[in-house]
Structure 1
Amino acid sequence: MFSKLLSTAAVVLAATQLVSAQTYTDCDPTKKTCPDDPALGTTVTVDFTKGANSLFKVADGTTLTYGSKGAVFTINKETEAPTITSNKYIFFGKIDVEVQAAPGTGVVTSFVLQSDDLDEIDWEWLGGDTTQVQTNYFGKGDTTTYDRGAYHDVANPQENTYKYSIDWTKDYVRWYINDAQVRELKYADAQSGTRFPQTPMQIKLGTWVAGRSDAPEGTVQWAGGKTDFSQAPFIAYYKSLTIQDYSNGVANAVKYSWANGSDGSYQSINVITGDASSDDETSSSSSASSTAKSTKTSSEITSIKTSAKNTLTTVTASASASASATASASASASASASESASSSGSETSAVADSSSSASATAPPASIPTTGGAMKAGFSTAAIGACLMAAFML
């Protein structure tokens, strides 16, 4: 098992290479005023066997095909990291994804939820590990501890299609494989809730190369070794998704608005509602037909405005086809350690000629791991592994 193969020396190496979150955000609402997040506000099913779906934006440099097994994510070279990101957010909810992971040592398949202030919930599959899948979570991009990752038994995920689910509420996160629960995170267990994922999130699906020739040693070890591209292509299939947006219990949500001075708590998020039959632009622009419903009390607002805000620096480094080796978006953005047990983390993967990112599986003190989260509409900007790991939005 991969979780048992990594040495203490590798863990130390990974820790020295990852000093910050593996994530990146275009606008952190806890630090400045940002645009409202468009809400999904309902339940939808996406069937990729029928082709592309308008709910998802394809990242720059990503080319997908579609067939009887769903959306086809193909990697032929180490700079490729095909990724798609939802253009709507959910504010708590349940997501079921049917996926067949990509094979190949060093190749990572990722299913990630990520918010504007770097809350994150993940599933990650290593192409060379035929017996396990990893889960992880992050709150506010904080990687100061390495006790969040977990491993779960699953037979040949690169050859079989399974349903992987995340049920996310203000009280808990639960992970399921084929409807069987394999893990639970309670609010209070995430540093008394301060590191519990609790802000509106996008859904990101993709694959990336952690076994790049220029990846940090700890990342390569976590991924199982260097990727042998003589065995390419490496293909993952995403068949379907069912997405339920709980909207924090508010009906007809059209937008999620962060209160000024938000500390990143779910109580500081306002749910903007409107006529469910009207489009998002009409609902959000008409103050007469839209009503802001706050999930916080006036005393909580006061507390939020007076509380100290978390600050987390995320750094991204440009990568180009001619640039010197940058860590693979997923790999470069994360080289952490992951516990071998049974939830999900931050993602980033740096790519030279295609945009990508990956989600990181944060580990306990015994296994270096890295993960790749996909940044919405991946640009050609890649996350430098030598810098503070950046995670995609």
Structure 2
Amino acid sequence: MLSKPFSAATLALAASSLVSAQTFSECNPTKKTCPPNPALGSKVDCDFTKGDCGFFGKAVGTDIKHNGNGAEFSISQDSDAPTIRGNKYIFFGRVDVEAQAAPGRGIVTSVVLLSDDLDEIDWEWLGGDAGHVQTNYFSKGDTSVYDRSASHPVAAATTQFHKYSIEWTSSAIVWSIDGQPVRTLASDAAKGGAAFPQTPMQVKLGTWVAGRKDAPEGTVTWAGGRADYSQSPFVGYYKSISIVDYAGKDKPANGGIKEYVYGDQSGSKQSIKIVPGNSDDAVKDRTSSKDGKDDDDDKFSNTKSVEMPPPGRASTTSNEPSASLPAATSAAATSAATPASTPAASNKADTAVAGLPSTSSPRPAPLSTLAASASGTASRVPALSDRLPTSAATSSTNPATLPGSAAAPRHAASLSAALIAFAALLL
């Protein structure tokens, strides 16, 4: 990864316009030819109690301390958004993170898997709700509807460590807490697989302020209110992470993979070419093949980090079959209790595991709906991925889970300094 910070020109472009339903990606392979994605091709384990992990780079401006709790992500003001990002991609795989979310109303902690064409898989914690964690996914940056998020019970998320896992294969995504599956999304449940995340992804970890003074009301409502800095610092911890690349298959790869190349602009898993070789060479190729333009690695160094808001994008179209409960329905959904009238069948499900209630919590679109580049290419600012939620509908049986009213995309957010920094973060 390069150590030079992103340029002022990049920031200016990010701030130049606020475009609704657009996402921020310096090079989206579904729109043009882009550099290959360096492949992890095997497994990496990071113990953050021992210090920085070489697999991750810090966004410019990020200051992370390490102690017995791991990597400390601290927030004391609106502009804080410590973030780190892996320097290689996985093409299906597994991610296990030991984390303790940052407390505080308006504070969000995130684990995000994000691809260049804006497929995304997330964990998100709201600091004001220590009893729940949210899961979400997006396909190709689609923000036409905001109903892909779900909320799951977890004990003392802001004061205790838990292991949060994502296993992502060609057929399903399984989110687990401490080894217990809490949600499964079958590929077929996402528009027959068309809206299923399926392209190589990077892993991003970070915290950000959704309850900023200049944040849209929908975002603030989703986050539980404005941040109260009289209670700061708000500190979250990542103790360890394990990342396994399946290299296009449904089991761990054993190395020998250099990179992943988009063969066309379809954004389908079938279009991804797996190139054999040394993945370290791919990283060198990516950073040395720049043609005078900022590469996404420019925003990261091994010592600093950039401010960035939410992860996540918002969803697929409304005709996507899903067994997950729609907004304003019962909070106790299980795969075995899906009403017969629900369009999704049990074998085509986006469900919580039986016995583990999961509240449907459609979160407004990603904060990534930001800028357009000077060339006219729509850019997206991914939330750690990016989540500037709109006001989400509240479950009738658990109004405390997701306060808010009817969902309405919060695309009218003002572009603060923090958002500008964030825009540069996920190029």
Segments of 5+ residues of structure 1 without an aligned counterpart are 1-16, 286-327, 372-377, 385-389
Partner of 1:20: 21
- Work out whether residues 114 and 385 of structure 2, in 8 Å CA contact, stay in contact via their aligned partners in 1: no
Closer/same/farther in 2, CA of residues 349 and 238 from structure 1, 3 Å limit? farther
Hey, what does 1:105 align to over in structure 2? 105
The 3 A distance-change label for structure 1 pair 118 and 391 is: farther
RMSD: 3.5
Counterparts of 2:276 and 2:63, CA distance in 1 = 35
Kindly state the Cα deviation for residue 342 of structure 1 after the two structures are TM-superposed: 4.9
Q: Which amino acid aligns with 2:309?
A: S
Q: Among residues 254, 257, 261, which one is paired with 1:253 in the alignment?
A: 257
Change (3 A) 1:61 1:117: same
The one of 250, 271, 274 equivalent to 2:274 is: 271
Q: Which residue of 2 is the match for residue 223 of structure 1? A: 223
2:394 equivalent to 1:360: no
2:217, 2:391 within 8 Å by CA — same for their partners in 1? no
Counterpart in the other structure of 2:322:
none
**What one-letter code is carried by the residue in structure 2 that aligns with 1:82?**
P
- Where 1:366 maps in the other structure, the secondary structure is coil
CA displacement at 1:154 relative to structure 2: 0.4
CA distance in 2, matches of 1:247, 1:271: 7
- Paired with 1:87 and 1:234, the residues of 2 have a C-alpha distance of 27
By how many angstroms is 1:175 displaced?
A: 0.2
Distance 1:380 1:222, change over 3 A: closer
Contact map agreement 2:124 2:135 (CA 8 A) in 1: yes
Alignment CA distance shift 1:380-1:227 (3 Å): closer
1:330 and 2:309 aligned: yes
Shift of 1:348: 4.2
Instruction: Give 1:330 shift.
Output: 2.6
The Cα of 1:191 is off from its aligned counterpart by 1.4
**Under a length normalisation based on structure 2, what TM-score does the superposition of the two structures give?**
0.66
Question: How far is 1:123 from its partner?
Answer: 0.2
- Give CA deviations for 1:334-364 in whole Å, capped at 9, x if unaligned: 799x9563599875489xxxx9854338789
Equivalent runs, 1:61-72 vs 2, <5 Å = 61-72=61-72
* Alpha-carbon displacement from aligned partner over 1:6-34 (angstroms, at most 9, x marks no partner): xxxxxxxxxxx99425x421110111111
- Structure that is richer in strand per residue: 1
Structure 1 pair 88/148, CA: closer, same or farther in 2 (3 Å)?
same
Following TM superposition, by how much is the alpha carbon of 1:391 offset from its aligned partner in structure 2, in angstroms? 8.8
Distance 1:331 1:280 in 2: 29
Could you tell me which residue of structure 1 aligns to residue 158 of structure 2?
158
Correspondence 1:54 to 2:58: no
2:98, 2:113 → 1: CA distance?
15
- 2:426 is aligned to 392
Separation (CA, whole Å) in 1 of partners of 2:81 and 2:179: 29
Alignment pair present for 1:381 and 2:408: no
1:126 positional shift? 0.4
Structure 2 counterparts to residues 93-132 of structure 1, below 5 A: 93-132=93-132
**Kept after mapping to 1: 8 A contact 2:212/2:220:** yes
Q: Distance in 1 between matches of 2:311 and 2:89?
A: 26
Deviation at 1:143, TM superposition (A): 1.2
AA matched with 1:212: R
Q: 1:106-144 deviations in whole A, cap 9, x for unaligned? A: 000000000000000000000000211000000001011
1:147 aligns with 2:181: no
Structure-2 separation of matches of 1:148 and 1:74: 28
SS at match of 2:248: helix
Structure 2 unaligned regions, length at least 5: 1-17, 286-306, 316-325, 332-357, 370-381, 395-403, 411-416
Q: State the match for 1:13 in structure 2.
A: none
Contact 1:357 1:392 in 2 (8 A): yes
Residue 188 of structure 1: CA displacement?
A: 1.1
Corresponding residue for 1:190? 190
Kindly tell me the number of residue pairs found equivalent between the two proteins. 315
The whole-number CA distance in structure 2 between the counterparts of 1:149 and 1:220 is 17
Confirm or deny: 8 A CA contact 2:222 2:389 kept in the other structure: no
Q: Aligned partner of 1:263: which letter?
A: S
Change (3 A) 1:95 1:125: same
Contact 2:122 2:312 in 1 (8 A): no
Distance 1:221 1:101 in 2: 19
Query: Who is 1:323 aligned against?
Result: none
- Paired residue secondary structure (1:330): coil
Find out whether 1:262 has 2:262 as its counterpart.
no
Deviates more, 1:64-73 or 1:341-350: 341-350
Please tell me whether residue 135 in structure 1 is matched to residue 145 in structure 2: no
Identity of aligned residues (%): 48
- In the superposition, the TM-score normalised over structure 1's length comes to 0.72
Q: Distance in 2 between matches of 1:330 and 1:358?
A: 8
User: Residue 152 of structure 1: SS of its match in structure 2?
Assistant: strand
Q: C-alpha separation between the residues in 2 aligned to 1:90 and 1:69?
A: 27
Residues in 2 aligned to 1:64 and 1:334: alpha-carbon distance in whole angstroms: 26
What is the rounded CA distance, in whole Å, between the counterparts of 1:29 and 1:224 in structure 2?
A: 36
